[in-house]
Amino acid sequence: MRVDGAHDLRSEYVVRVTGTVRARPEGTANPSLPTGGVEVGDCAVEVLSVAEPPPFPVSDRSDADETVRLRHRYVDLRRDRLQRNLRMRATVNAALRAAMDAQGFAEVETPMLIASTPEGARDFVVPARLHPGSFYALPQSPQLFKQLLMVGGFDRYYQIARCLRDEDLRADRQFEFMQLDAEAAFVDQEDVLSFISPAVLAATEAATGTRVEGGPDGIPRLSWADAMARFGSDKPDVRFGMELVNLTPVFAATELRAFQAPAVKAIRVPGQGGVVRSRLDALTDTAKRWGAKGLVWARVTGPGEIDSPVAKFLSAQEQAGVVAATAAEAGDLVLVVADERRQAEKVLGLLRLELGRPPVNEGGYHFLWVTDFPLFEGLDDQGRPIPAHHPFTMPHPDDLDRLEADPLSVRSQAYDLVLNGWELGSGSVRIHRPDVQQRIFDLIGIAPEAAQERFGFLLDAFRYGAPPHAGFAFGIDRLVAILAGEENIREVIAFPKTQSGSDPLTGAPSPLEPAVLAELGIRVLPPPP
């Protein structure tokens, strides 16, 4: 905007300009500025607030240090990027609320000062002044309260809920994050998917203008077992191919010791046959760090022909088998891992991402429902099964009688929503019978007295007429980050924490005055050496 006359104005001053807006004279318009077509004539300029020079230029082109940006977040928020991201976030929230309201869901708020709700992370706790020595936990999710709401007759609940989990921070994780949390009574998995899919697709369209096409509900499905077999991940990024190929039959009778394993699997990396040896060595080291016994590479040199350190130990038939099974062409690279099946899949899944994953803002929006998770993801060091979701997840009805005898084979009625390789959220059909809930607690090592102490209120509620119920929750920060093309959820949160969990703007966390500690009945130990 051009303003008549001379005024002593500096960057970031707050001014009131009164005048007549008119088109710029012929030849002086500047199309590269948003207001480059107009100017203000006959104007009066009043300075409402002066500004010190900003700590960094308020231009998207400059890349100021993150701590400086966060310390002066109010300046940072003026940048186009954050303006756009936070406004997009507001659009997403509004679209989610509208979609849930339209389906008859009522938004109900649940408390922040609660007893612990287990979601697999550490709780943040708050000392209770009126009960010295006692603490509230901040909710890792509204999980138990939404189940109580089902017993309380709110058969369709949702909430845009703040969740707090004390875990190490990373690009897609902050201590506090927002979820669209939902629960409904007298429903099954299909109903939940049919409630959540339109909400998430409406939010995507409202925020980006992109209508996501797909199956009947717009979001394709994949079973957990297929996701692991084809992508080596329970949150597959299906924006690109490079799917895992099973070479176990090719090496069924192999002489090569390294391939005499329960599973031999591979990925084809198109056009990467010429990659230098040092890169292949680095990939091998990475694969070992991820737990592989080794990584075998093969450059495809021609039809049925490979160049590989192990080529001389492989029969011509095996070499041709690798090329045929992976559909590799001359110039491609094939990476092979032989191990226990899950281990081979995990390592290849990570290599696939390392070598093929497109930047976050490329390839469109590929939502995916992953279904049929196992109930337990493994055994802890005392041989007890570890729940893959939280312990309120209903086992598959056909597997209930194997719960104690063969827990790792039991399927759950749990499902995840995945977008471009990010886990957006998860949900499940819940246990609504106290006897089944008790069996799960017994299995995972929560003794009856401990269960009564920690979750007695839920077990009690189930004794007063609990409808079958199911639900879901997904992370709004993650959804908005992907829709905004951001790799880090900090870019879609107004006031985020740094990687080490501090807030350079307010100085949190900070020590408490001795008098405050005394009032809370707390004595602080010196930091460990």
Closest C-alpha to 67, from 511, 484, 507 = 507
Question: What letter would DSSP give residue 114?
Answer: B
Return the range that interacts with ligand ASP (CB under 6 A); candidates 104-112, 293-301, 425-433, 446-454: 425-433
Interface with ligand ASP (CB under 6 A), residue from 75, 471, 479, 486 = 471
Interface with ligand ASP (CB under 6 A), residue from 472, 477, 479, 483 = 472
Closest to ligand ASP by CB, 426 or 488 = 426
Find all residues with CB under 8 Å of 220, minimum gap 6, and list them.
214, 367, 368, 369
Cβ at position 330, least distance to ligand ASP in Å? 47
Return the range that interacts with ligand ASP (CB under 6 A); candidates 27-35, 96-104, 149-157, 423-431: 423-431
Return the range that interacts with ligand ASP (CB under 6 A); candidates 49-57, 103-111, 232-240, 470-478: 470-478
Closest to ligand ASP by CB, 85 or 141 = 141
Q: How many H-runs (helices) and E-runs (strands) does the chain carry?
A: 13, 20
H or E element in which residue 174 lies: none
Measured CA to CA, the distance from residue 358 to residue 52 in angstroms comes to 41
Residue 317 in tokens: 């038939």
Return the sign of the alpha-carbon dihedral for residues 517, 507, 12, 53.
positive
Binding mask 139-168 for ligand ASP (x = CB under 6 A): --x-x-------------------------
Closest to ligand ASP by CB, 475 or 496 = 475
Closest to ligand ASP by CB, 337 or 489 = 489
Find all residues with CB under 8 Å of 50, minimum gap 6, and list them.
10, 13
Closest to ligand ASP by CB, 10 or 433 = 433
Return the sign of the alpha-carbon dihedral for residues 201, 206, 212, 217.
positive
H or E element in which residue 518 lies: helix 514-520
Cβ at position 407, least distance to ligand ASP in Å? 20
- In the three-class reduction of DSSP (H, G, I as helix; E, B as strand; rest coil), residue 135 is classed as strand
Q: Which of residues 334-373 bind ligand ASP (CB under 6 A)?
A: none
Residue with the two structure tokens 């100017």: 39
Cα 431 to Cα 42, 118, 223, 388: the distances in Å are 72, 15, 21, 15
Cβ at position 384, least distance to ligand ASP in Å? 21
Cβ at position 164, least distance to ligand ASP in Å? 11
Closest to ligand ASP by CB, 87 or 433 = 433
426 binds ligand ASP (CB under 6 A): yes
Hey, which residues does 114 pair with through a beta bridge?
A: 137
Cβ at position 398, least distance to ligand ASP in Å? 21
Return the range that interacts with ligand ASP (CB under 6 A); candidates 254-262, 329-337, 421-429, 494-502: 421-429
Residue 450 in tokens: 């401990």
Return the range that interacts with ligand ASP (CB under 6 A); candidates 64-72, 434-442, 468-476, 482-490: 468-476
Cα 195 to chain centroid distance, Å, stands at 20
Closest to ligand ASP by CB, 110 or 141 = 141
H or E element in which residue 351 lies: helix 341-356
Closest to ligand ASP by CB, 310 or 466 = 466
Measured CA to CA, the distance from residue 364 to residue 361 in angstroms comes to 7
Binding mask 114-143 for ligand ASP (x = CB under 6 A): -----x---------------------x-x
Cβ at position 394, least distance to ligand ASP in Å? 11
CB 318 within 8 A of CB 241: no
DSSP 3-state helix, strand, coil percentages of the chain (rounded to 5)? 30, 25, 45
- In the three-class reduction of DSSP (H, G, I as helix; E, B as strand; rest coil), residue 67 is classed as helix
Cβ at position 121, least distance to ligand ASP in Å? 10
Cβ at position 397, least distance to ligand ASP in Å? 19
CB 450 within 8 A of CB 411: no
Comparing every residue's Cβ against ligand ASP, the nearest one is: 141
Return the range that interacts with ligand ASP (CB under 6 A); candidates 103-111, 124-132, 367-375, 465-473: 465-473
Cα 113 to chain centroid distance, Å, stands at 25
Closest to ligand ASP by CB, 180 or 295 = 180
Binding mask 439-458 for ligand ASP (x = CB under 6 A): --------------------
Angle at 145 between CA 496 and CA 469, to 5 degrees: 115
Interface with ligand ASP (CB under 6 A), residue from 110, 412, 428, 488 = 428
- In the three-class reduction of DSSP (H, G, I as helix; E, B as strand; rest coil), residue 355 is classed as helix
Within 10 A of 452 (CB to CB), how many other CB atoms are there?
Answer: 15
Chain positions contacting ligand ASP, by CB under 6 A? 119, 141, 143, 426-428, 471-473
